[in-house]
Amino acid sequence: MVADARHPSGVYTVCWEEDSEGSSVCVLDQSALPHQVLYLHLRHEEEVAEAIRSLKVRGAPLIGVTAAFGMALALTRLWQAGASTLTPARARSHLARVAELLRQARPTAVNLPWAVERMLRCADQALAAGRAPGELVALLQREAQAVADEDCAACLAMGRYGAELIPDQATLLTHCNAGALATAGLGTALAPMYVAHQQGKHLHIFVDETRPVLQGARLTAWELQQSGIPLTLITDNMAAHFMRHGGIQAVFVGADRVAANGDVANKIGTYGLAVLARAHDIPFYVVAPRSTIDLTLSSGEQIPIEQRDPSEVTSIGGSAIAPPGVYVANPAFDVTPHSHVTALITEAGVARAPYTQSLPALCAGYHHVGEVHVHGVGNHTGRC
């Protein structure tokens, strides 16, 4: 495994690999950070789904990219096991089953079903064009790599748009992890910080620890350390204090799904930060690619909220911190009303209220299932 210069952390999050044992989706195990940089070689679609479910792979854009590779892996595995038995009908049936498996891994982030649907459309167009199963395998591998490459490009574009909103000597606050570890590129919410830092701007980032899984403490703090950007790690309940006394000039967060009216689902605790930012007259920016925007939902009330294992709340690092048998609520996300969002930064530009007008305008011509070129050979290549 080699370092990735696109990632401030100096590591890859996901890529396709071929070795003596066959094909695999190689992912950075984020549950091992910050203590260990560990890579997993996922050789079965069930392993891909479990890696997403267990937060070994996390971050809305990244789980979409990983799911795309998982779809390609599923068909590649069948092809390598017995090419002569892989008929077009069997290939399509298998992909449908794998699509449902991956969709169910995590329900809130729309990037996951978006990527799965894109891969299914690729398969359907290829089969309709009369492509043989072997050609379909290659096409799906290239399409998955295209999803990764497009995410990388989107991250850089979001970083450039967002950096324009960051002055020199800025003190910012972020929540959870929306950096390179959450994407195939620079990140979403952290991308503007990385670009601003590269431009020579002097920044200081307050990082919420992000209970209960501590993505801020474990991942964002590690990422920013690797990049050389100064940071201060705080507990979640310190945010109001530092908004009042710490000179915080803006809040940057990512998103797992954005409704048509601009309501934003993001890691639990985001809504509270938005309320605090509004009370202190601090801009609250959401950074997310267009694949995260779900124009089929009129408001955030329709966004499904994932409920996770109570043990995430009652223990840290395997050590119990609560009495046995206590009742636990553990929603993984909350929804921030659009009225609390200063702007939504996408790879196509910056959207502001009214979002019912600005979001469709930014998404005009953007195909959530992607364009599939079944007559040409792509130039996307793996990078491991």
Q: Which residues are catalytic?
A: 256
Q: CB within 8 A of 223, min separation 6: which ones?
A: 8, 9, 177, 179, 180, 181, 187, 190
Is residue 185 within 8 A of residue 147, CB to CB? The reply is: no
Phi-psi sector, 59: left (phi>0), alpha (psi -120 to 50), beta:
left
Q: How big is the chain by its Cα radius of gyration, in Å? A: 20
Torsion angle of C-alpha atoms 301, 306, 307, 309, degrees rounded to 10: -170
Residues 312, 320: Cα–Cα separation, whole Å: 10
Give the three-class secondary structure for 298.
Answer: coil
Residue where the block lists tokens 């899984």: 213
Token couple for 342: 């200063």
Residues 159, 161: Cα–Cα separation, whole Å: 6
Cα dist. 139→25, 72, 155 in Å?
16, 9, 24
Is residue 68 within 8 A of residue 150, CB to CB? The reply is: no
